[in-house]
A and B are shown apart, each in its own frame.
Chain A
Amino acid sequence: MLEEPDGADLLATARDVVLLEILPALPPEKAMAARMVAAAIALALRERDAVAPPMPDLAALAAAIREGEHDPGTPHHDATAALLRDYARARAAVSAPKALGATG
């Protein structure tokens, strides 16, 4: 058993320090950097809890899409559209969770 608080707790606490203590004391031209640090910590925390969806060979899928093998009217089209939606949503859940609310 490792000593607590764990990494996630420390990151979340560090993020509060950046936003609540450091950011207000910074000159305006450094505010962006502090916000980026806070965003990076939040993203790392979400990634820690994320579950990657099972995906097929992405390179093969990308090549097949380019060749038109998943065009409307082909047998794979609807399943591929659903798979790509899940794939983008799973990554957005880590990278940009606000976007999920906007696009349903």
Chain B
Amino acid sequence: MDEARLRDWLARETGDETLRITALTRLSGGAIQQNWALDVAMRDGAKRWVLRTDAPAVLAVSLPRAAEYALLCAARDAGVTVAAPLFLCDDTGVTGRPFFVMGRVEGTAAAHRVVKQAGAQGDAIVAALGRELARIHRIVPPRGDLGFLGDPPADAARAMIDAMRARLDAAGTPRPVLEWGLRALERAVPAPVPPVLCHHDFRTGNIMLDGARVSAVLDWEFAAWGDPHADLGWFCAKCWRFGAVAREAGGIGAREAFYAGYESESGTRIDRARMPWWELMATIRWAVIAADQAARHLSGQERSLELALTGHIVPELELDVLAMVEAL
């Protein structure tokens, strides 16, 4: 990263020519994007920011940084707890790739640590997360500022089945167990509900907690118009409980505590009968993503032990799929 160029750009954006970068270090980032801790000294004091940019190999299904920035702004305006979006740079002449700068948030998102530390506060945490999710779902189409999301699907559940099949076809590896699950879902497609903004990766590991306080909902790059139950199911699915299977809401707290938080904020009642469908879909979707991540390693596009091992999650997810089909 060219620090001098970045400094000049930040100085222009902030209107503070005295701005100095005092630290710029790579944070442990995702496979899709990179996060840098960015500390600056300004006239009115020191600031602690995060610079977020695309990784060299970008997943086709993830949103570009400018879109993610617009989503962060929309979420903040809807009252969702997010890192404050500060500056967006579409000009690749500054760091080589688009990036944005946001406030740095205290806390931990590491899933295993969050699950381990939740303890007696778990129900309060998931209630707060239910309220956060309800605020996200308050964002509804049409929205000019979120035009990049396209038109909402007429039937989000049906569209999700089609999307999963298309990804399996594109990957080219036959996955009869996942097909088995998708076919079971197809036989039981729920009636459509009005579309909302779905985060589509709202789960333990993507939520930053500072003690028992939610400090930020992270990772907006899969957001899309959809069925709100998709997010509820993703959060509660067994595959996202990180070993704490009995705590059905993200391995953190009780499912009903999560639902209660959501219902208190949304003023709507969650149709519990819809949840097994969406939790099965969540399990299939994670299996499809995991298989795709391993494929990135196998193709040589991005050799990585983490991606390679992620592929080995698929058989376990398939066992879950088979059990969930029986119970659907």
Cross-chain contact A84 with B176 (CB below 8 angstroms):
yes
Cross-chain contact B315 with A84 (CB below 8 angstroms):
no
CB contact list, A63-93 vs B, under 8 A = 63, 65-66, 68, 70-71, 80-81, 84-85, 87-89, 91-92
- Give the Cβ gap from B195 to chain A, nearest Cβ, in Å: 26
Mark each residue of chain B from 280 to 319: 1 if its CB lies under 8 Å from any CB of chain A, else 0: 0000000000000000000000000110110011111011
Q: Does B28 contact A (CB under 8 A)?
A: yes
Cross-chain contact B183 with A40 (CB below 8 angstroms):
no
Whole-angstrom distance between the alpha carbons of A57 and B309 in the complex? 26
Specify which chain B residues have a CB less than 8 angstroms from the CB of A89 in the assembled complex: 319
Specify which chain A residues have a CB less than 8 angstroms from the CB of B308 in the assembled complex: 40
Q: Does B148 contact A (CB under 8 A)?
A: no
Specify which chain B residues have a CB less than 8 angstroms from the CB of A61 in the assembled complex: 174, 176
- Chain A residues packing against B (C-beta within 8 Å): 29, 33, 36-37, 39-40, 43, 58-59, 61-63, 65-66, 68, 70-71, 80-81, 84-85, 87-89, 91-92, 94-96, 99-100, 102-103
Closest Cβ neighbor of A67 among chain B residues: B183
Cross-chain contact B174 with A71 (CB below 8 angstroms):
no
Task: Count residues of chain B with CB under 8 A from any CB of chain A.
Answer: 27
Jot down 5 A-B pairs with beta carbons below 8 A, ordered by A. A61-B174, A65-B180, A71-B187, A87-B177, A103-B319
Cross-chain contact A95 with B323 (CB below 8 angstroms):
no
The A interface is mostly helix, strand or loop, or mixed, namely: helix
Cross-chain contact A99 with B180 (CB below 8 angstroms):
no
Whole-angstrom distance between the alpha carbons of A81 and B184 in the complex? 12
From known contacts A71-B187, A88-B177, infer whether A37 and B305 are also in contact, taking CB-CB under 8 Å: yes
Whole-angstrom distance between the alpha carbons of A92 and B314 in the complex? 8
Cross-chain contact A36 with B306 (CB below 8 angstroms):
yes
Cross-chain contact B322 with A84 (CB below 8 angstroms):
yes
From known contacts A85-B322, A87-B176, A96-B316, infer whether A36 and B309 are also in contact, taking CB-CB under 8 Å: yes
Specify which chain A residues have a CB less than 8 angstroms from the CB of B28 in the assembled complex: 29
Instruction: Tell me which of B177, B245, B305, B323 has the highest count of chain A C-beta atoms within 10 A of its own C-beta.
Output: B177
CB contact list, B1-53 vs A, under 8 A = 28
Mark each residue of chain B from 230 to 261: 1 if its CB lies under 8 Å from any CB of chain A, else 0: 00000000000000010000000000000000
Whole-angstrom distance between the alpha carbons of A12 and B22 in the complex? 46
Specify which chain B residues have a CB less than 8 angstroms from the CB of A91 in the assembled complex: 314-315, 318
Specify which chain B residues have a CB less than 8 angstroms from the CB of A88 in the assembled complex: 177, 315, 318-319, 322
Specify which chain A residues have a CB less than 8 angstroms from the CB of B312 in the assembled complex: 43, 94-96
Q: Does B214 contact A (CB under 8 A)?
A: no
Closest Cβ neighbor of A93 among chain B residues: B315
Closest Cβ neighbor of A29 among chain B residues: B28
Of A29, A66, A95, which one neighbours B316 at CB under 8 angstroms?
A: A95
- Give the Cβ gap from A50 to chain B, nearest Cβ, in Å: 11
Q: Does B155 contact A (CB under 8 A)?
A: no
Specify which chain A residues have a CB less than 8 angstroms from the CB of B245 in the assembled complex: 102
Cross-chain contact B305 with A103 (CB below 8 angstroms):
no
Specify which chain A residues have a CB less than 8 angstroms from the CB of B182 in the assembled complex: 66
Q: Does B158 contact A (CB under 8 A)?
A: no
Cross-chain contact B183 with A92 (CB below 8 angstroms):
no
From known contacts A36-B309, A40-B309, A62-B175, infer whether A92 and B319 are also in contact, taking CB-CB under 8 Å: yes
Whole-angstrom distance between the alpha carbons of A95 and B291 in the complex? 13
Whole-angstrom distance between the alpha carbons of A89 and B323 in the complex? 12
CB contact list, B110-154 vs A, under 8 A = none
